[in-house]
Amino acid sequence: MKFINYLVRWISNNLAIPFWVVGHIHLSINVYEDITEILASFGMNIIVALGFWLDWRDYKNTTRQ
């Protein structure tokens, strides 16, 4: 479980900007007709959001000392 937590945070911290930049460019020039593309885009954004939430939760707990 600790490895999964670390993996989600690493992906979130290192790939958030590329996911969103590429995703927004892709959305502006492409029409989503394939369910695979929709699920992949949704999944990547969920991973990034989960990583942000995990980091925020730890930050909130460490700043209340």
Place 3 in a pLDDT band, splitting at 50, 70 and 90.
Answer: confident
Q: How many domains does the chain have?
A: 1
9 vs 7: CA distance, rounded Å: 5
- Expressed as residue numbers, the domain containing 42 is 2-62
DSSP per residue over the chain, as a string?
-HHHHHHHHHHHHHHHHHHHHHHHHHHHH-----HHHHHHHHHHHHHHHHHHHHHHHHHHHHTT-
In the predicted model, is pLDDT for residue 65 greater than 60?
no
What does the pLDDT look like over 17-46, one tens digit per residue? Answer: 777 677 666 666 666 667 777 777 788 888
- Residue of higher predicted confidence among 48 and 26: 48
What pLDDT sits at residue 29?
65
